[in-house]
Amino acid sequence: MSQTYGKTRWKRFALVMVPSIAATAAIGVGLANNALAASFSVSGQQFKVTAGDLDGKNFAQYGSVDFQDNSNHKGAHPVAVSAFDSATIHHLCQSVKTDLPFGLGTWVLRLQAGDGQTPVEATNLMIGLDSLNADATFDNGSPDTDHVTPGINIGQDASTLPGNAKGQAGAFGQAAPHAHLTNVQQTAWSTSAGTFKLAGLQLHVHQLDGSQNGSECF
């Protein structure tokens, strides 16, 4: 039986996701396939993402595996698949560090968006992550914060999760109608989205040097 809790703040708990631009080529992935691993092969490189503020509807999470080669299931990476039906994100940063050949050294691709008044907007977000730190509140999205009804189910059968994303029957899952996260830091292997609107997009490729653009997001 799943357990239901009320409005709860979970500090530095790896529950939810923030989107990245790394897998926008996977737009249109069928969320009903029950596993992110079945959608596309991952590069084998982790990337880092931070967000100042993430507000999302229909949060769901369950365990899965990302593969570097889906055809033969090589290069397996156990992940927590986290999903939102929709989300808005302020102060999004994504970075990936790569060692280039020919003596070029280590370089960082760094992307930033949503730093102004207009946030990043996304629908049908799914991410395969293995680490996340954040301050999080889960509830039913009621504007009356003094009378918020229970908002998170922990231990729910992953195949019965509400919203678009679902896991395998009998597997551990958790869900909430509404989630609000701040001070988000995560490392991930993959992300897909139905739509991804990046307001104020800035992208830089710089050699790793510790400067604002030549460094990772954290």
Query: Tens place of pLDDT for every residue, the chain, 218 residues?
Result: 434 444 444 444 334 434 333 333 232 233 334 444 445 678 888 999 999 999 999 999 888 887 777 777 778 878 888 899 999 999 999 999 989 889 899 999 999 999 999 999 999 988 889 899 999 998 887 655 444 456 788 899 988 888 888 888 888 899 999 999 999 999 998 888 899 999 999 999 999 988 877 899 99
Give me the DSSP letters along 181-214. EEEEEEEEEEEE-SEEE-TT-EEEEEESSSSSSS
- pLDDT computed for residue 23 by the predictor: 34
Whether 9 and 183 have beta carbons less than 8 Å apart is answered as no
Q: Where exactly are the structural domains of the chain? A: 3-207
- pLDDT computed for residue 40 by the predictor: 66
- pLDDT computed for residue 143 by the predictor: 59
DSSP tally for the chain: helices H, then strands E: 0, 10
What is the b/e burial string over 151-190, where b = at least 16 CB atoms within 10 angstroms of the residue's CB?
A: bbbbebbbeebebbbbbeeeeebbbbbbbbbeebbbebbb
- pLDDT computed for residue 201 by the predictor: 96
Please tell me the distance from the alpha carbon of residue 196 to that of residue 112, in angstroms, as a whole number.
13
- pLDDT computed for residue 149 by the predictor: 52
For the chain, how far is it from start to end, CA to CA, in angstroms? 39
Please tell me the distance from the alpha carbon of residue 190 to that of residue 128, in angstroms, as a whole number.
5
- pLDDT computed for residue 133 by the predictor: 94
